[in-house]
Structure 1
Amino acid sequence: MQTMIYDSDAFCVLQLDWSGAQASQDGAEADLSRGGYEIVDKFARKEIFLGGRAAEGFRHSVQQLIAQEPSSEEIDDFLDRYSALSRQSLQAH
């Protein structure tokens, strides 16, 4: 199952759950050993998948960010740090 948890002009974040269980809206119930997060940088046309401990760290960082009630620009700046990790360009077929 894929759940879009963020979408802007610059980024899209999907929560992926392969266990078949429905994730809660905040992702707190998700079993990240059977899924993770996909971050798509729309401008750079790149994506990165975070699973396991990286996904747990991402979720924790997002929860801290959201508690500060950030603007869309601040969220995009936060996601841009993860986008820099991507080496694979997206290609349409």
Structure 2
Amino acid sequence: MQMLYNSENYAVVHFEVDVNEPTGFPMRPDVAEGISLTRAGYEIVDKHARREIFIEGALAEHFKEGVQALISASPNDDDVDEYLAGYTVLAQQPVVLH
């Protein structure tokens, strides 16, 4: 887990999980041999709406490419927040603190 962005309005965290870590579930040796997989995604939190979204796969790759293009344009916080707002409009999961 790595915090990538944190502003007054949004937070973005990158998650990467090695699926080869022991799960406690047996796997056939012939299936497990040579497999090296990871799962990754981004959690985007809208602090004012108190909603978050987790994206992975093709959508996460699209998000990453958009962020890289944005960074190359030397954005300010408002530019980054505007970009993130395009994703948080999809957010349905409420943020709950324990």
Q: What TM-score bracket applies, with the shorter chain setting the length?
A: 0.7 to 0.9
What does residue 86 of structure 2 align with?
Answer: 81
Residue-by-residue CA offset, 1:10-35 (whole Å, 9 max, x unaligned): 00000001128xxxxxxxxxxxx511
What does residue 3 of structure 2 align with?
Answer: 4
Equivalent-residue separation in structure 2 for 1:12 and 1:88 (angstroms)? 15
Unaligned runs of 5+ in 1: 21-32
Equivalent-residue separation in structure 1 for 2:49 and 2:74 (angstroms)? 26
What does residue 55 of structure 1 align with?
Answer: 60
> Quick one: percent identity of the two aligned structures?
40
**2:47 is equivalent to residue 42 of structure 1:** yes
Equivalent-residue separation in structure 1 for 2:60 and 2:49 (angstroms)? 22
Paired residues in the alignment total 80
What does residue 15 of structure 2 align with?
Answer: 16
Q: Which has the larger radius of gyration?
A: 2
Instruction: Give the AA of the match of 1:3.
Output: Q
- Aligned-partner SS, 2:18: coil
Give runs of aligned pairs for residues 20-31 of structure 1, distance below 5 A. none
Provide TM-score, normalisation by structure 2: 0.77
Instruction: Give the AA of the match of 2:86.
Output: R
* Backbone CA RMSD of aligned residues: 1.3
Greater than 4 Å deviation, 4+ residue runs:
none
Provide TM-score, normalisation by structure 1: 0.81
